[in-house]
Amino acid sequence: MNHLTSGKTAAMLNKVPAVTRTFWIIKIMSTTVGETGADFLAVHVGLGTAMTGGIMVVLLIAGLLVQLRMRRYLPWIYWLTVVLVSVVGTQITDALTDRLDISLFVSTGVFALLLATTFAIWYWRERTLSIHTIVTTRRELFYWAAILFTFALGTAAGDLATESLNLGFNLGVMVFSAALVAVMAAYYMGVNAVLTFWLAYILTRPLGASLGDLLSQSRANGGAGLGTIQTSVVFLVVIVSLVALLSLANRGPKLKAEIVNGDK
Amino acid sequence: MKKLKPVHAIFLLSTFGVVSLGVAPLFRPLEIVTPAEAASIPKIGDLSSYRKIVVDTASMVEKGDLVRAKIRIKDLEISWDEAEPSLKPRSPAEWHTIDKAIDRALSNLRASDPDAAACNQSLSELLQLMDVAGGKP
């Protein structure tokens, strides 16, 4: 990776994690927590969707600023940013659908094009879309823009499947898992890594949502009856534990002070 | 490192986007429920628990107790929101119609100076929509 030797970029290590099984588990679960968390504030706490949306955007900007200032990948701030992007991406799509009455076909199409445009500009400027060399702030901004659009697109495309195909969460879990397995198979058969990574990233959004629904919805409706709050708490505990484990594994000699909640 | 052909990813996504935009005008969901259908098992599922909250709220409004009505309708907001993943896929068009009607009732009851007549009106419209979709209990 000779990118690292060129001047300014040498000061910064790759800012984003390697794609492992843990990566995907946290990613899927953070989708659910992001959505139910925002829902909880809007409905149960009674802040309303507009107020909740505003709060989440402010939190996202703050989280992103902290993430951008880091010189290397730190699990807690990276994953906190992902959860916040997940919430905001979902809220953008919901606002378009519920407030502005924009058809899900239109929002799905527009977000796919926006994502494609992001990749096109990213590639044009950087000559690579590799997530293994996110070593400059500009590349990192491309990365987060792409992630925001995948969440918005994942929400729109997932809702579109729900509404136009009457795809309930039971079937949804199966269909989205099958699609994810197909993408995984394609990756192992040599289909290009950039394409399969981002496709999987989009698909895990509706998969996470239907998985959350499967656990939280009442038994009468075919769910496990855990309720949204309990489901979110369970997922949150798993996420925090995994991120804590990653932080411990990732601990460099200078970084001891920055480890959050590292159990001893 | 694997050979990357990002052009493919960009092309695929663009095609998907354009196709989705192209078919958008063909899908304007319009589902009309005939009375015969409404009388049998409702497509959207059992709405009786939501209907009961609307009836309760409406009777509070009738008695002029807008404060209690506002508290009672929150039960509807929460339970309706909780059941969204179960109800919406069964009958998306009906779900959206009722969802909008709930939003109207909520904003009338939560107005800083709530208008009893407007509350009454939006609640009876909501009740009617629920009866069409869910069949009378």
Residues A46-54 have a mean pLDDT of: 84
**Distance from the A264 Cα atom to the nearest Cα atom in chain B, whole angstroms:** 37
Hey, are the CB atoms on B4 and A222 less than 8 Å from each other? no
pLDDT (0 to 100) of residue A259: 44
Tell me how far apart the alpha carbons of residues A54 and A92 are, in angstroms, rounded to a whole number: 11
Q: Which of A43, A209, A228 sits opposite B77 (nearest CB)?
A: A43
**Would you call A95 an interface residue with chain B, using a CB distance cutoff of 8 Å?**
no
C-alpha triplet A220, A226, A229: angle, nearest 5°: 125
The predicted-structure confidence for A28-41, as pLDDT tens digits, reads as follows 998 888 778 777 87
Query: Confidence class of residue A57 from pLDDT cuts 50, 70 and 90?
Result: very high
pLDDT (0 to 100) of residue A165: 83
Q: Of A70, A81, A213, A73, which Cα lies nearest the Cα of A148?
A: A81
pLDDT (0 to 100) of residue A11: 59
Residue A83 scores a pLDDT above 50: yes
**DSSP class of residue A2?**
G
pLDDT (0 to 100) of residue A176: 92
Residue A2 scores a pLDDT above 50: no
- Lowest-pLDDT choice from A2-6, A90-94, A180-184: A2-6
DSSP A169-226: HHHHHHHHHHHHHHHHHHHHTT--HHHHHHHHHHHHHHHHHHHHHHHHS-GGGTS---
pLDDT (0 to 100) of residue A108: 93
**Would you call A130 an interface residue with chain B, using a CB distance cutoff of 8 Å?**
yes
pLDDT (0 to 100) of residue B51: 92
pLDDT (0 to 100) of residue B22: 77
Compute CA distances B15 → A115, A142, B8, whole Å: 12, 21, 10
The predicted-structure confidence for A157-205, as pLDDT tens digits, reads as follows 988 888 888 888 888 999 999 999 999 999 999 888 888 999 999 999 9
Mutate which: A51, A90, A113, A143, vs B, most B CBs within 10 A: A113
Dmax of chain A from CA atoms?
62
pLDDT (0 to 100) of residue A258: 43
pLDDT (0 to 100) of residue B104: 93
HSE of A33, CA atoms in CB hemisphere, 13 A: 22
**Distance from the A54 Cα atom to the nearest Cα atom in chain B, whole angstroms:** 19
Tell me how far apart the alpha carbons of residues B46 and B97 are, in angstroms, rounded to a whole number: 16
The predicted-structure confidence for A115-130, as pLDDT tens digits, reads as follows 999 999 999 999 888 8
**Distance from the B107 Cα atom to the nearest Cα atom in chain A, whole angstroms:** 11
pLDDT (0 to 100) of residue A41: 79
Residues of chain B with Cβ-Cβ distance to A198 below 8 Å are: 9
Tell me how far apart the alpha carbons of residues A16 and A30 are, in angstroms, rounded to a whole number: 16
pLDDT (0 to 100) of residue A252: 57
pLDDT (0 to 100) of residue A43: 80
Hey, are the CB atoms on A169 and B90 less than 8 Å from each other? no
In contact, B98 and B79? CB cutoff 8 Å:
no
Q: Which of B6, B27, B29 sits opposite A123 (nearest CB)?
A: B6
Please state the ipTM of this predicted complex.
0.74
Which residue in the block uniquely carries the two structure tokens 């409702």? B42
Residues of chain A with Cβ-Cβ distance to B24 below 8 Å are: 103, 105-106, 109
Residue A12 scores a pLDDT above 80: no
Residues of chain B with Cβ-Cβ distance to A116 below 8 Å are: 9-11, 13-14, 17
The residue ranges of chain B whose pLDDT is under 50 are 1-2, 4, 30-33, 38
Residue A44 scores a pLDDT above 70: yes
Domain-wise residue ranges, chain B: 35-134
Average pLDDT score over chain A = 85
pLDDT (0 to 100) of residue B75: 92
Chain B interface residues (partner A, CB cutoff 8 A): 1-14, 16-24, 27-29, 45, 74, 77-78, 81-83, 85-86, 88-90, 92, 99
pLDDT (0 to 100) of residue A187: 93
The predicted-structure confidence for A98-114, as pLDDT tens digits, reads as follows 888 888 899 999 999 99
The predicted-structure confidence for A130-151, as pLDDT tens digits, reads as follows 888 888 899 999 999 999 999 9
